[in-house]
């Protein structure tokens, strides 16, 4: 029997050994503090390193809660052990215990990008440019290392601190994929969060196409996120409550800059969104091209979040109970 069926950690995959701590138990090295968050598979806690008193976050995953044969935990550990980039949440080390896995992650204290949008509104264009550049830089790094994120959305973007110059980081590699084809092609798995899924993935779901390019699909999702960052609402907001209509709208590329907030957004910003949300994958911008785009290359300054009233609307328009936690459909 395959070991992964018995142990969902699967030794952390190909790179798991790089950061696996075998020198002792977790509690030999860390003092456990308060709960930072909870999820379906476990809890995240604040911890303090006993040797140097540094603060970290530990993600505790109960193995019994992971479905037999599910490779996602093994893949997540494998990816975390490969990633070392300022715009990606990184792993310090991990512990493999008989009943649980403990991932010691860098501590970020600024909350999620979704929190900021829902509570305060959309970001002005200068701040949006800085946020986007952080996200695109982290995503380009993943792609360069043969990794597709596959679930890009504001709740998976973390702010390093509450400071105005906080760095934005990609997080949650639970649906990410170490690509067989480093260029991203020949993918078949249909996954992600519906509002952000690229049209070619939907064509695979309906059998119109057999495979898609996961790196190109990430670029589409990045464009959706830039739309939200600058406006405070999702591009397919009219159809968020009906998944069939939502998927039809994505397939038709039925979105626009018709709301009043877009009057103050530059032509260059809109051009970049259009380039990333191009339904023709041959014409769609890559993440690298997005970073080289005129709008992204211009000097960005830090400023305040704009209070727009659309922040709450983003939650109301596509946040029915459990929706933001949805990963498959």
Residues 183 and 275 in one domain: yes
Q: What is the mean pLDDT of residues 18-43?
A: 93
**Residue pLDDT, tens place only, 93-103:** 999 999 999 99
Question: Given this model, what pLDDT does residue 299 score?
Answer: 62
Residues above pLDDT 70, as percent of the chain: 89
- Residues pairing with 56 in the sheet: 47
Residue finishing a domain among 105, 138, 158: 105
Query: pTM of this prediction?
Result: 0.88
Task: Locate all alpha helices (DSSP H) within 97-164, ordered by sequence.
Answer: 113-120, 125-144
35-63 in b/e form (b: 16+ CB < 10 A) is ebeeeebbebbbbeeeeeeeebbbbbbeb
Annotated catalytic, 151?
yes
- For residue 323, is it within any domain? no
Domain range enclosing 8 = 3-105
Residues 83 and 135 in one domain: no
Residue finishing a domain among 105, 126, 152: 105
Residues 81 and 229 in one domain: no
Residues above pLDDT 90, as percent of the chain: 75
> Could you tell me the CATH number of the domain that includes residue 59?
3.30.200.20
**Residue pLDDT, tens place only, 38-90:** 877 789 999 999 999 999 999 999 999 988 788 889 999 999 999 999 999 99
Residues 123 and 33 in one domain: no
Residue of 151, 165, 172, 319 marked catalytic: 151
- For residue 327, is it within any domain? no
What total number of domains does the chain contain? 2
- CB-side exposure of 66: number of CA atoms within 13 Å? 24
Residue 31 marked in a binding site: no
């Amino acid at each position: 029997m395959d070991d992964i069926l018995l142990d969902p950690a699967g030794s952390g995959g190909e790179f798991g050994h790089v950061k696996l701590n075998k020198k002792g138990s977790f509690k030999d090295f860390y003092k456990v503090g308060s709960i930072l968050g909870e999820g379906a598979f476990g809890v995240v806690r604040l911890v303090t390193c006993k040797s140097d008193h540094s603060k970290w976050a530990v993600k505790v995953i109960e193995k019994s809660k992971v479905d037999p044969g599910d490779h996602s935990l093994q893949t997540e550990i494998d990816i975390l052990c490969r990633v070392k980039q300022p715009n990606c949440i990184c792993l310090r080390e991990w512990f493999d215990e008989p009943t649980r896995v403990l991932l010691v992650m860098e501590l970020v204290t600024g909350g999620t990008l979704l929190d900021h949008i829902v509570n305060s509104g959309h970001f002005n264009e200068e701040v949006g440019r800085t946020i986007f550049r952080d996200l695109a830089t982290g995503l380009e790094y993943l792609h360069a290392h043969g990794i597709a994120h596959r679930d890009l959305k504001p709740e998976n973007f973390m702010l390093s601190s509450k400071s105005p110059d906080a760095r934005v980081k990609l997080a949650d590699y639970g649906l990410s994929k170490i690509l067989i084809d480093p260029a991203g092609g020949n993918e078949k798995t249909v996954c992600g969060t519906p509002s952000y899924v690229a049209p070619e993935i939907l064509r695979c779901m309906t059998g119109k196409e057999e495979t898609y390019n996961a790196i190109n699909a990430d670029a589409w999702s990045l464009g959706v996120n830039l739309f939200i960052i600058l406006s405070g609402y999702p591009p397919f907001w009219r159809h968020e409550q009906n998944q069939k209509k939502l998927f039809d709208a994505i397939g038709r590329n039925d979105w626009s800059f018709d709301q009043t907030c877009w009057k103050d957004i530059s032509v260059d910003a809109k051009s970049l969104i259009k380039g990333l949300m191009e339904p023709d994958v041959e014409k769609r911008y890559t993440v690298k091209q997005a970073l080289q785009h005129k709008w992204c290359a211009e000097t960005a300054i830090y400023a305040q979040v704009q209070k727009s009233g659309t922040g709450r609307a983003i939650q109301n328009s596509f946040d029915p109970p459990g929706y933001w936690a949805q990963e498959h459909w």
